[in-house]
Structure 1
Amino acid sequence: MVDYGGDLTPYLGGPVQRIERLGSRFALAVELPKLDQEEARVWVSRLLQAKRSSGVLGWPQLGNGVGDEGAPRVNGAGQGGTVLSLDGLPPNKAIKEGWFFSLNAGGRRYLHMITADAVASNLGAVTVTIEPMLRIVPPDNAVIELAAPKIEGLVQGNEGAWEPDLAEEVGLSFTLVERE
């Protein structure tokens, strides 16, 4: 988690206040093992492309997996903060704390974590609490990727070390950071 909030600690005592700021997001540090020549060539090419545009990687969904996700979507425009209404889930679908999902809006993915268990109604609607807070106002019916969430962002790392020959010898390492 890349946290843009902060704690306000008074100089003369008193309670510490947490100041939340819009913009907290996720990052994924990746270390690839030694690659064969073909894999190394493709990975280096895609990393260099993702330095200036976007890279997309699957985000691990821990546990036994989500199972049937139905076709989850944002239920209603104008939402913000740390609560999100969804629909399109299977009836009575259990949503688990700690699951991740990606929200697709405006041609970009935004990764979030569900922070409390919830159960969809018999119509497949549910309201979930999430972290970090929404960075955009998602449109109604924006697609939610629950079973196979993805992180999208810019690649950071030592691009000088992204050489196919080096990738064959020791592998590659980089960090993918959400853009906004």
Structure 2
Amino acid sequence: MAALVLPTRPAPSSMTPRPISSRNEQRPASQGPVNRYMRPGTRWAWDITLAPQSYVASLEWDDLLSESDTVIMKIYQPGLDTGAPGSPLIDGANQIGRTLNLKGLTPGYVFRKGQWISFPVLGQLFAYKVRTLTTVAGDGQVALPLLTLLRLPPANNAVVDVAQPRAEGFATVDPQSLEVGTDRLVRLRFTLEERE
């Protein structure tokens, strides 16, 4: 299975992320507290709408119709300047939990709450959101709190995409969006869902 890289133009007119939770929720049969237990496995899906484009231009997006391959797309963060994070790498193998140790960052770099990062695990990109505002230490290291648990432990020294994070997953195209309108434009809508 290959990962197909989608075009970066046109940028989406909307890209709405939503978590697909793996948490365990316990609700009592009678009155009592509801409990939620976090488990590894929560992944992300993005509902994406592209700006109207000509039929010919829309053909560049035909990789979305692949039945077996995953696609890779830039995660757009409008208005967020990711700055100069340095050359971030995973700092240590076998990491689990909601904290990711990184090295090789620009000292003093600030991760914003809700900022996206991505990195490969076993040849597949995984995307995560930062849980709280966090500043990199003077040695370029940081213990970065994540919104969700790590799904699989990343390899030591794996490259982390901070400046331009990307998502990888299967695409599902809204079949009605493939219609060419009377104005001869295609309004493409699809969902990209991480596969693990």
TM-score normalised to the size of structure 1?
0.89
1:28 deviates by: 0.8
Task: Pick from 95, 110, 117 the counterpart of residue 101 of structure 1.
Answer: 117
Task: Pick from 84, 89, 94 the counterpart of residue 100 of structure 2.
Answer: 84
Q: Does 1:157 align with 2:173?
A: yes
Task: Please provide the CA RMSD for this pair.
Answer: 2.0
More strand by share: 2
1:105/1:143 contact within 8 Å kept = no
1:40/1:168 contact within 8 Å kept = no
2:64/2:172 contact within 8 Å kept = no
SS at match of 1:148: coil
State the 4+ residue runs in structure 1 displaced beyond 6 angstroms.
none
Aligned-partner Cα distance in 1 for 2:177–2:137? 51
Aligned-partner Cα distance in 1 for 2:105–2:50? 35
Aligned-partner Cα distance in 2 for 1:80–1:86? 13
1:7 deviates by: 2.2
Aligned-partner Cα distance in 1 for 2:111–2:186? 40
SS at match of 2:169: strand
1:61/1:149 contact within 8 Å kept = no
Opposite residue 154 of structure 2, the aligned amino acid is P
Which has the higher relative contact order, 1 or 2, with Cα contacts under 8 A spaced 6 or more apart?
Answer: 1
SS at match of 1:52: coil
Task: Pick from 104, 107, 126 the counterpart of residue 142 of structure 2.
Answer: 126
TM-score normalised to the size of structure 2?
0.82
- CA deviations 1:4-35 (Å, max 9, x no partner) are 21421111322211022321111111112322
1:176 corresponding residue in structure 2: 192
Deviating more after overlay: 123-132 vs 25-34 = 25-34
2:77 corresponding residue in structure 1: 61
SS at match of 1:144: coil
Give the number of aligned pairs.
Answer: 177
